[in-house]
Amino acid sequence: MRTEVIKLLDNSTKGNKTQFPKPPLDIIFLNELIREYLDWMGYKYSSTVFISECDLSKQPLDRSLLLQSLGLKESESSINLPLLCNIIETFKNLRNT
């Protein structure tokens, strides 16, 4: 029900929204990483609002495209986790070397 209310409110203000330029690719990637994390955690209401506010496409970017673009490698331990966890693990490993 909350999601429907949010959608109704969003649609009622569409005409009043300022048109912003398309964000740079880095921001799109960051937004996709956050979306993946919110969805993985089960934060469906937060995800719905976030997707709407960021004007993300209904279909998320392909995970393999994000991996390749960010220079990340998938491992057995990271395959079932959001890519933000993979990034954190990479930084922790770099710090320990």
CATH number for the domain spanning 71: value is 1.20.960.40
With 0-12 / 13-18 / 19 or more C-beta atoms within 10 angstroms meaning exposed / middle / buried, residue 17 is: exposed
Cα gap 82→63, rounded to integer Å: 9
More confident position, 77 or 43: 43
| Per-residue pLDDT reduced to its tens digit, 1-31 | 766 776 676 665 555 556 778 889 999 999 9
CA–CA distance, 39 with 49 (Å, rounded to integer): 12
Count: domains in the chain: 1
Say whether pTM exceeds 0.75: yes
Give 30's contacts (C-beta < 8 A, 6+ positions apart). none
pLDDT classification of 60: cutoffs 50, 70, 90: very high
Domain that holds residue 34: 22-96
